Structure 1
Amino acid sequence: MHARQHSRGSRHGREMRSSVAGPVLPFLSSRETRFEDIAADAADYVMALWPAELGDVLFQWADMPPRAIADRIDEVPEWAVDAAQRTITIYRLPLQRLPRVHIDDPWHRQVAIEGAVFRAAAELIGRDPWEVAPDRWRHH
């Protein structure tokens, strides 16, 4: 499984560079980087609200769950929680390509990604998602 740790720095460990086009044009953004930005923001949010319970948890992103996990269930999972390792893995492709949203637009896709992070964190600490993220929980 290729996973990336929660990190807002450069993908290759270098400092962020300026835009080639200068300050007038925005940076290019891919579906992958938008996913990582949304998931990292949601992870930061719940870790700040629950530092004692989630402060040592490693949030990571992967494209798909390992085959061993996917083959055991009828539905492709959106996340995995490893309580022993204190790790939460959020799977990008199920959330982006198989979203369970009633309106397929950027806002609802963002809510789906945030919801997966909140539900995974809630699962790890034995709470309900609306308790974990009271100001941002939206079930759509």
Structure 2
Amino acid sequence: MARSRSAGGRARAPRARGRDRHGRGLRSSVAGPHLPMLRGRLDVFDDAVADTAEYLRGLWPELDVVSYEVAGLPAVVTDRGLERWHVDAEKNRIVLYRLPIERMTKLHVKDELHLRMVVEGCVLRATGEYLGRDPWDLAPERFREH
């Protein structure tokens, strides 16, 4: 009776994760070593919120104490529907809800640039609500008409 090579009376070593497959070497990313890593929707959204918040903090020193957070969905649905953001002035916190902003906004072109503009607009409106100011007066030089 023929026996397989690995069953020769000794115990098999457990397979290590990340081990090369069939002698082909370790797996690499799909993009390859010469291309940048792929970015998902969550990364694009987080970057847009963080960049806009940092820009606004540079203009308005009173925003240094505010924490900008990203959540998937609001915990409750209000009578106005799904909120896109929540401002808690007592705790100095602004929460932006990613899924309502991404999925309920009608974009004429669905790409990273247009989504980023929508996210920036939401951050501006939420910050304007926090400060009690018109959102477009927060950064007049950045969002002026050409």
Pair in the same fold by TM > 0.5: yes
CA contact (8 A) 2:73 2:99 kept: yes
Question: TM (normalized to structure 2)?
Answer: 0.71
Partner deviation per Cα, 1:31-78 (whole Å, 9 max, x = no partner) = 111100111111111111101x211001100001112xx2x2232111
> 1:39 matched to which residue of 2?
49
The 3 A distance-change label for structure 1 pair 85 and 114 is: same
CA positional deviation for 1:27: 1.1
Partner of 2:104: 98
Q: Say what the alpha-carbon RMSD is for the aligned residues.
A: 1.9
Note the 1:1-140 alignment, pairs <5 A. Answer: 21-22=32-33, 24-51=34-61, 53-67=62-76, 70=77, 72-137=78-143
Change (3 A) 1:129 1:61: same
- Indicate if the aligned counterparts of 1:76 and 1:94 stay in contact, CA closer than 8 A: yes
- TM-score normalised per structure 1: 0.74
Aligned residues: 115
Between the aligned residues of both structures, percent identity stands at: 41
Structure 2: distance between partners of 1:26 and 1:125: 38
Q: What residue ranges of structure 2 are gaps of 5+ in the alignment?
A: 1-27
- Tell whether the 8 Å contact from 1:115 to 1:137 is kept in structure 2 after alignment: no
Higher relative contact order (CA 8 A, sep 6+): 1
